[in-house]
Chain A
């Protein structure tokens, strides 16, 4: 093949296949450039960066939506799968779903930050540049198909987050959070990069599906102990990087400090978007490495990869159990609302990983079951957007009126602003996982994925343990979520509080209502979101 035809092919592939499916990301990238341009050109200096960002995200959302809608419903699922940019990225149902989720979240998020007043006008351009850039990285995380892209995407999502954590420039805690986050992140990234190089070195390729084939060959040939050792080590190191993004124990230490130090708005971004992308990447890596794409030797390869999947199930499953338990137990002692939500985020990462573990466990056993489990995780992410964004929005708005984020400062809030207390109750009870709220359905689906896997006989002992741990954690989590409600309702208000902190009939009130209503709505009528999540689940089968 000569250079000319190579260029023509690549160009044709890029223009005809890759770029059309890359439009949402392009919109984000263009908006970032536009935001920076606005700063430089005197004419555009006074443009509201939130609106500019919202416009760009709107375009991206529209493209993401039209991509998602044109996914083949049911039927042959590999038909929708496309490798982009010569295999660096992959476009499939999971990409489309997570991208839609991220951009939808981003639109809500920009509205929320616009109302809450952080960032101020001065910081707006910087803030939205970082947020949009981070989200761009997260979209890439969901579609990475190459170790290089895995690393690039993780870094692209992380670096803006470090800067965001330090957004409140005057505050010592914020700067401390940023530096802690950056150092921790750099360490995790270094370890992950090392792991990636080990994997690539042994398998001789960085392209994930090709790695799967090599992995199967290695396993099939009964590889010498040495290379298995190196591969496991590489896998573990890769898991460190992912666990850092997921804030899974024992790589969660940054989470409470960053959430406490950074503004609540930043916490919302990290807890929702970052988590969704990390879960998507975990699914992507696990399923690409553990399950061969269709084809001639798929069944044989699938069997050869049993050990790989077993390794991954135990890794993810045990981490899930520990993450969930530790998150819930640690949340118990918190007095700062953002810190409490940070541990709640950690705990929810655990529940999500339980779903992922169930999905991987069933991958070799039943296709329908795998799909159900991935659907459960995708559904969970969908409801999580509203629950956590709602929770952080309430924290931010209460901070604006009460000037405090301590739980004790919420005492007796029900006397003056019952509406906001009801909204908080809905969000927190949904996070506990009680019906008829969205959080219950999510938890129900994850548990049912575990039970389905158990009844299919996949990895039974571990998944039974996970099921018990999940149930136990639901009970434990009751304490700390209810404590917040207890303070808000049972305790008498402090004497010096201003009388009218937060009417529900106001712009922030309307936003909170708009975030809380889906939490109730999705708890009662979840067929629609479930069908969408099922499309995403298709990627695994």
Chain B
């Protein structure tokens, strides 16, 4: 492993730059040499930084745009981890600076850099403590990007927590009237989740043993860097496998390999009558669903979203919620597949409950922003359902493509919701900046006063509604379809939720944009949309439409990695889970197995 430092790692600087450039600029901005009064300079520097990071992530994701593809760039269709960076960090615990992207994380990275850029542009109306705001904003971006690219659990956790403090201050200083309450509530919920996550991380770490993995698995999980030459590889493999004491690991890929072993130590260890696998799954799940958020731990979200300033609401809804879904997909299921299978009902159930509860709650809101916030709860319910059905089909027959459909749908829903919810929050923010209230009852007639803005806003809200042809539709329909294979009742409920969604969104559009004239306060401030606002809204609308009519653009990235992970777990279910005598009765015939192999 020592040799890892000396091998060439083409992705080292690009990935490191994507993650740490914002933090570096934040450090620069925080220096006393940047005077507080130079607000325009600070704003432009931040916008420029986020733009550079966005271009860098685009450079990784879409090499064709920049000419020939280099070794650090993403190869479409390649299912494994790419652009892996591996440097030792804390040797005593085997903690590494291990980064990498695949089809699951890369689109989320691009989404993050894109929304950060738009949010930076949306930060112009912030006039209080501009310098501190932008420093915290950039630190937040580093934290978010770090979570998506970390492949080491310790590193993942560090980035996960790094986001908390900037977010606390961003809500608490620049937020609305109840900002302090909202900020501490957000912090408290998330910290509770992350402490539970830390316990799970430690449990997994101390139970893991790299010696159980075959040389191929060690290479595949980058415990031993495949970039080494053959001799060094063999040495490194031997060093791991011949160790006298168990070799623990924080490597997420290796933990997944260990978790999927037939003799997985996670499944074998019992704590208080429940397998460690299940404990870890539950603890991690709580940590992640708080972020998603899922009913009943969603209550921080309406407060945080409503009180946060517009750009931060965009980031919260667009990116932070996705961290939860990403964590479940990347960590919970691959590492604890058995628990995932057993607890599928829980994940799916939580998803459907959030979906319905969020929709009803949104229907009842008087505050425009709060309504949008509850719509996020409802929409993220689809993500949970889509992720949950994945592991659930074992009792029926093996249709891994049906599971993959659900997971692909969930991934698409996350990305689409990133676009549409950020758009919705921005649209609410544009109105709020003018009339300084968000009371749905006091709006009306906005279309007459701001036609361009209203057109764009209605497009974004329709995307949130899930109108065919817009981005919100694809994810919902895929998730609903695939959940039919798991539980018809859940599928029916999730299909009916679309009606509720349509109801609250259409009703909101009617109350805000339609109507004869605006009668609420500050009517004379309803000026036309500014070029800056237009520059933020247009790309969001553009992508909402683009991904609606050409979802393949995203699926080209997402599907190969998702399918491979699902196939691996389908194979695990057959090979390991059903091989256990207790569940033999539940297995169908062997036929579908060949079906999978044929693919």
A contacts, CB < 8 Å to B: 368, 414, 418-419, 422, 425, 429, 434-436, 440, 444, 447-448, 451-452, 454-455, 464, 467, 471-472, 474-475, 478-479, 482, 486, 489-490, 504-505, 526-527, 530-531, 534
B383-429 at interface with A (beta carbon < 8 Å): none
B165-188 at interface with A (beta carbon < 8 Å): 165, 168-169, 172-173, 179-180, 184, 187-188
**Are B199 and A447 closer than 8 Å at their CB atoms?**
yes
**Are B92 and A527 closer than 8 Å at their CB atoms?**
yes
Residue on A nearest B193 in the bound complex, by CB: A475
B143-192 at interface with A (beta carbon < 8 Å): 157-158, 161-162, 164-165, 168-169, 172-173, 179-180, 184, 187-188, 191-192
Question: How far is it, in angstroms, between the C-alpha of A527 and the C-alpha of B88 when the chains are bound?
Answer: 11
Which of B161, B172, B206 interacts with A451 by CB under 8 Å? B206
Most chain B beta-carbon contacts within 10 A, residue among A440, A452, A471: A471
Which of B90, B169, B184 interacts with A527 by CB under 8 Å? B90
B203 within 8 A of A: yes
Residue on A nearest B269 in the bound complex, by CB: A455
Which residues of the partner chain A approach B165 to less than 8 Å between Cβ atoms? 425, 429, 434
19 A–B contacts from the bound complex (CB under 8 Å): A434-B191, A435-B158, A436-B161, A447-B199, A455-B206, A464-B271, A471-B195, A471-B196, A471-B198, A474-B195, A475-B191, A482-B168, A482-B187, A486-B180, A486-B184, A490-B173, A490-B179, A490-B180, A527-B91
Which of A419, A434, A530 interacts with B92 by CB under 8 Å? A530
Which of A447, A464, A526 interacts with B198 by CB under 8 Å? A447
Which residues of the partner chain A approach B207 to less than 8 Å between Cβ atoms? 455
Which of A419, A489, A526 interacts with B169 by CB under 8 Å? A489
**Are B245 and A471 closer than 8 Å at their CB atoms?**
no
B contacts, CB < 8 Å to A: 30, 32, 90-92, 132, 157-158, 161-162, 164-165, 168-169, 172-173, 179-180, 184, 187-188, 191-192, 195-196, 198-199, 202-203, 205-207, 245, 269, 271-272
Which residues of the partner chain A approach B91 to less than 8 Å between Cβ atoms? 527
Task: Return B175 CB to nearest CB of chain A, in Å.
Answer: 10
**Are B169 and A435 closer than 8 Å at their CB atoms?**
no
Task: Return A507 CB to nearest CB of chain B, in Å.
Answer: 17
Which of B158, B164, B202 interacts with A447 by CB under 8 Å? B202
Given contacts A440-B161, A448-B202, A530-B90, contact A490 B172 (CB under 8 A): yes
Which residues of the partner chain B approach A504 to less than 8 Å between Cβ atoms? 32
**Are B172 and A435 closer than 8 Å at their CB atoms?**
no
**Are A452 and B206 closer than 8 Å at their CB atoms?**
yes
Which residues of the partner chain A approach B271 to less than 8 Å between Cβ atoms? 454, 464
Question: How far is it, in angstroms, between the C-alpha of A444 and the C-alpha of B199 when the chains are bound?
Answer: 9
**Are A448 and B205 closer than 8 Å at their CB atoms?**
yes
Question: How far is it, in angstroms, between the C-alpha of A530 and the C-alpha of B184 when the chains are bound?
Answer: 33
Which residues of the partner chain A approach B196 to less than 8 Å between Cβ atoms? 471
Residue on B nearest A368 in the bound complex, by CB: B245
Which residues of the partner chain A approach B169 to less than 8 Å between Cβ atoms? 489
Number of A-B contacts (CB under 8 A): 81
Question: How far is it, in angstroms, between the C-alpha of A471 and the C-alpha of B188 when the chains are bound?
Answer: 13
**Are A489 and B172 closer than 8 Å at their CB atoms?**
yes
Which residues of the partner chain A approach B157 to less than 8 Å between Cβ atoms? 435
**Are B199 and A467 closer than 8 Å at their CB atoms?**
yes
Which residues of the partner chain A approach B179 to less than 8 Å between Cβ atoms? 490
**Are A478 and B191 closer than 8 Å at their CB atoms?**
yes
Residue on B nearest A421 in the bound complex, by CB: B132
**Are A451 and B203 closer than 8 Å at their CB atoms?**
yes
**Are A448 and B206 closer than 8 Å at their CB atoms?**
yes
Task: Return B167 CB to nearest CB of chain A, in Å.
Answer: 12
Question: How far is it, in angstroms, between the C-alpha of A419 and the C-alpha of B30 when the chains are bound?
Answer: 9
Question: How far is it, in angstroms, between the C-alpha of A474 and the C-alpha of B192 when the chains are bound?
Answer: 9
Question: How far is it, in angstroms, between the C-alpha of A456 and the C-alpha of B245 when the chains are bound?
Answer: 13
Question: How far is it, in angstroms, between the C-alpha of A429 and the C-alpha of B32 when the chains are bound?
Answer: 23
Given A452-B206, A490-B172, A490-B180, 19 more pairs with CB closer than 8 A? A414-B132, A419-B32, A434-B191, A435-B161, A436-B161, A448-B202, A451-B202, A455-B206, A455-B207, A464-B271, A472-B195, A474-B191, A479-B184, A479-B188, A482-B184, A486-B180, A486-B184, A527-B91, A534-B92
Question: How far is it, in angstroms, between the C-alpha of A474 and the C-alpha of B193 when the chains are bound?
Answer: 12
Which residues of the partner chain A approach B199 to less than 8 Å between Cβ atoms? 447, 451, 467, 471
Residue on B nearest A447 in the bound complex, by CB: B202
Question: How far is it, in angstroms, between the C-alpha of A504 and the C-alpha of B172 when the chains are bound?
Answer: 24
**Are A444 and B195 closer than 8 Å at their CB atoms?**
no
The 8 A-B residue pairs with the shortest CB-CB distance in the complex, in nearest-first order:
A451-B202, A435-B158, A471-B195, A455-B206, A435-B161, A475-B192, A434-B161, A448-B202
**Are A478 and B187 closer than 8 Å at their CB atoms?**
yes
Residue on B nearest A435 in the bound complex, by CB: B158
Residue on B nearest A533 in the bound complex, by CB: B92
Residue on B nearest A453 in the bound complex, by CB: B206
Question: How far is it, in angstroms, between the C-alpha of A472 and the C-alpha of B198 when the chains are bound?
Answer: 12
Question: How far is it, in angstroms, between the C-alpha of A459 and the C-alpha of B91 when the chains are bound?
Answer: 29
Question: How far is it, in angstroms, between the C-alpha of A454 and the C-alpha of B207 when the chains are bound?
Answer: 10
Residue on A nearest B90 in the bound complex, by CB: A527
Which residues of the partner chain B approach A447 to less than 8 Å between Cβ atoms? 198-199, 202
Residue on B nearest A443 in the bound complex, by CB: B198
Which residues of the partner chain A approach B245 to less than 8 Å between Cβ atoms? 368
**Are B158 and A475 closer than 8 Å at their CB atoms?**
no
Task: Return A257 CB to nearest CB of chain B, in Å.
Answer: 29
Which of B158, B184, B191 interacts with A436 by CB under 8 Å? B158
**Are A475 and B188 closer than 8 Å at their CB atoms?**
yes
**Are A486 and B172 closer than 8 Å at their CB atoms?**
yes
**Are B162 and A435 closer than 8 Å at their CB atoms?**
yes
**Are A526 and B206 closer than 8 Å at their CB atoms?**
no
Question: How far is it, in angstroms, between the C-alpha of A482 and the C-alpha of B187 when the chains are bound?
Answer: 10
Task: Return B126 CB to nearest CB of chain A, in Å.
Answer: 16
Question: How far is it, in angstroms, between the C-alpha of A199 and the C-alpha of B447 when the chains are bound?
Answer: 87
Question: How far is it, in angstroms, between the C-alpha of A470 and the C-alpha of B162 when the chains are bound?
Answer: 21
Question: How far is it, in angstroms, between the C-alpha of A412 and the C-alpha of B570 when the chains are bound?
Answer: 57
Given contacts A368-B245, A435-B158, contact A418 B132 (CB under 8 A): yes
Residue on A nearest B189 in the bound complex, by CB: A475
Question: How far is it, in angstroms, between the C-alpha of A476 and the C-alpha of B199 when the chains are bound?
Answer: 16
Which of B92, B187, B269 interacts with A531 by CB under 8 Å? B92
Which residues of the partner chain A approach B90 to less than 8 Å between Cβ atoms? 526-527, 530
Question: How far is it, in angstroms, between the C-alpha of A486 and the C-alpha of B188 when the chains are bound?
Answer: 14
Which residues of the partner chain A approach B30 to less than 8 Å between Cβ atoms? 422
Question: How far is it, in angstroms, between the C-alpha of A436 and the C-alpha of B203 when the chains are bound?
Answer: 21
**Are B162 and A475 closer than 8 Å at their CB atoms?**
no
Most chain B beta-carbon contacts within 10 A, residue among A479, A489, A504, A534: A489
Task: Return A373 CB to nearest CB of chain B, in Å.
Answer: 12
Which residues of the partner chain A approach B32 to less than 8 Å between Cβ atoms? 419, 504-505
Which residues of the partner chain A approach B187 to less than 8 Å between Cβ atoms? 478, 482
Residue on A nearest B131 in the bound complex, by CB: A418
Given contacts A429-B165, A479-B184, A534-B92, contact A444 B198 (CB under 8 A): yes
Question: How far is it, in angstroms, between the C-alpha of A434 and the C-alpha of B198 when the chains are bound?
Answer: 11
Task: Return B133 CB to nearest CB of chain A, in Å.
Answer: 12
Residue on B nearest A460 in the bound complex, by CB: B271
Residue on B nearest A477 in the bound complex, by CB: B191
Which residues of the partner chain B approach A464 to less than 8 Å between Cβ atoms? 271-272
Which residues of the partner chain B approach A422 to less than 8 Å between Cβ atoms? 30
Which residues of the partner chain A approach B203 to less than 8 Å between Cβ atoms? 451, 455
Task: Return A533 CB to nearest CB of chain B, in Å.
Answer: 10
Which residues of the partner chain B approach A526 to less than 8 Å between Cβ atoms? 90
Question: How far is it, in angstroms, between the C-alpha of A378 and the C-alpha of B245 when the chains are bound?
Answer: 23
Question: How far is it, in angstroms, between the C-alpha of A527 and the C-alpha of B89 when the chains are bound?
Answer: 8
Residue on B nearest A473 in the bound complex, by CB: B195
Question: How far is it, in angstroms, between the C-alpha of A486 and the C-alpha of B172 when the chains are bound?
Answer: 8
